[in-house]
Amino acid sequence: MKNKVVSVEQAIEMIPDGAVLMIGGFLGDGTPELLVDGLIKAGKKNLTVIANDTAFPDKGIGKLIVNKLVKKVIVSHIGTNPETQKQMIEGTLEVELVPQGTLAERVRAGGFGLGGILTPTGVGTVVENGKQKITINGKEFLVETALRADFALIKAKKADFLGNLVFNYTARNFNPLMAFAANVTIVEVEELVPVGGIDPNEVHVPHAVVDYIVRGNAK
């Protein structure tokens, strides 16, 4: 069987300029920093990044912004990274804002084979601009469409060699959702255990959606 374990360099090599990436993390907590650093080192260009936020200038996805690898972000907020706002105002970075719960469902829908979801969030606000609306039992909902990516770069606490994943506390956030929603899913893990080393009840993401595993700092 295919060995999914690769080096950071091998993982990064697969990603072309212009790729659409989903990157896990919430203000950097749960972001695969080795993969982020790998993208910067390789000098990737024109990336589109789907993520919860752009973190801080010196942390997580923020570093990709500061180093100008990104042409577009689809995120729920950018308030913690002044560089994102600066590039947006300068017109060098496109920013698409999505309510956080809607973003989570759109990513999940992409991975779960759904066309999208119907949400009350955003009805009657600027978020509804350009979107279809549907009324069910007299209540209006926005049609929010599924999101997919070329690559998902995610971070887990633990994996077995098959790619079954366990996440840690608030580092879980968007990571499990993104694992399903990309053509290629690469996970950076802190701990690699033998197959059979994780209780079947405690796996957060089944190996079926994981393509490559990169060992993190704690080997």
Partner 1 sequence: MIQDPKIGRTVIAKRVALELKDGDIVNLGIGIPTLVANYIPKGVTVFFQSENGILGMGPAPEPGYEHPNLTNAGGSPVTFLPGAVAFDSATSFGLIRGGHVDITVLGGLQVDEEGHLANWMIPGKLIPGMGGAMDLVTGAKKVIVAMTHVEKGGVPKIVKKCTLPLTSVRRVNLIVTDLAVIEVTEKGLLLKEIAPETTLDEVLKYTAASLIVPEKVPTMPVTL
Kindly state whether residue 110 participates in binding a copy of itself, applying the rule CB under 8 A: no
Task: Give the Å distances, CA to CA, from 54 to 10, 95, 114, 145.
Answer: 25, 10, 27, 22
Which of 75, 147, 149, 152 is close enough to bind partner 1 by CB under 8 A? 75
Question: 98, 30, 38, 85: which is closest to 57 by C-alpha?
Answer: 85
- Token reading at 77: 């907020």
Which of 32, 38, 62, 176 is close enough to bind partner 1 by CB under 8 A? 176
Sole window of 7-15, 35-43, 103-111, 130-138 interacting with partner 1 (rule: CB under 8 A) = 103-111
Sole window of 26-34, 45-53, 67-75, 108-116 interacting with a copy of itself (rule: CB under 8 A) = 108-116
Contact call for residues 211 and 197 (beta carbons, < 8 A)? no
Helix (H, G, I), strand (E, B) or coil at 177: helix
The amino acid occupying position 86 is K
Which of 7, 124, 133, 134 is close enough to bind partner 1 by CB under 8 A? 124
- Spell out the residues 6+ positions from residue 4 whose beta carbon is closer than 8 angstroms to its own: 161, 162, 163, 210, 211, 212, 213
Kindly state whether residue 145 participates in binding partner 1, applying the rule CB under 8 A: no
Q: Which of partner 1, a copy of itself, none interacts with 99 (beta carbon under 5 to 8 A by kind)?
A: partner 1
Q: Applying CB under 8 A, which residues contact a copy of itself?
A: 105, 109, 112-120, 132, 134, 136, 139, 141, 143, 145-146, 166-169, 172, 200-202
